[in-house]
């Protein structure tokens, strides 16, 4: 992530785009790119892992849209002064505590179901 962050900083600086890369503008761009990614899956029904049935052209487009989402996310985290790698690692630890593997394996229930089990509460 640090390499991507530095490359984006250089890219924006070379074009004098830093003035436009405010957190709000970057967030809106990120949402727009997520929408473009969603279009790749629109009307496809349920899509299996590995994207069977997708053409090489469709897969390339999905890779490009995923990259746009990632790049805007990294740029947004930089504009917000957030260490994205550290924040993601902390979030993974938090999720591991919220979703203990021994109790939630194979279930898509919300974490509150598992925390209620801890306290003996009924839900």
Residue 118's pLDDT is what? Answer: 57
CB 109 within 8 A of CB 103: no
Cα separation, 107 vs 35, in Å, equals 28
pLDDT given for residue 4 in this prediction: 95
Q: Which CATH number is 1-104 given?
A: 1.10.287.1080
pLDDT score for 119 = 52
* Maximal C-alpha separation, the chain: 58
* CB 23, CB 80: distance < 8 Å: yes
Q: From the first residue on, what is the mean pLDDT of each consecutive set of 10 residues in the chain (123 residues)?
A: 96 97 98 98 96 96 98 98 97 93 86 65 45
For the chain, give every domain's residue range: 1-104
Give the per-residue pLDDT at 122: 46
């Amino acid at each position: 992530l640090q390499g991507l962050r530095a490359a984006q900083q250089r890219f924006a600086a070379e074009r004098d785009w830093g003035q436009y890369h405010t957190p709000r503008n970057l967030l809106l761009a990120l949402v727009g790119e997520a929408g473009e990614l969603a279009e790749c899956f629109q009307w496809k029904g349920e899509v299996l892992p590995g994207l069977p049935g997708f053409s090489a052209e469709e897969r390339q487009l999905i890779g490009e849209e995923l990259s746009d989402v990632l790049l805007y996310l990294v740029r947004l985290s930089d504009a917000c002064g957030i260490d994205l790698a550290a924040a993601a690692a902390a979030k993974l630890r938090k999720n591991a505590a919220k979703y203990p593997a021994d109790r939630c394996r194979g279930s898509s229930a919300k974490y509150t179901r598992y925390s209620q089990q801890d306290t003996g509460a009924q839900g």
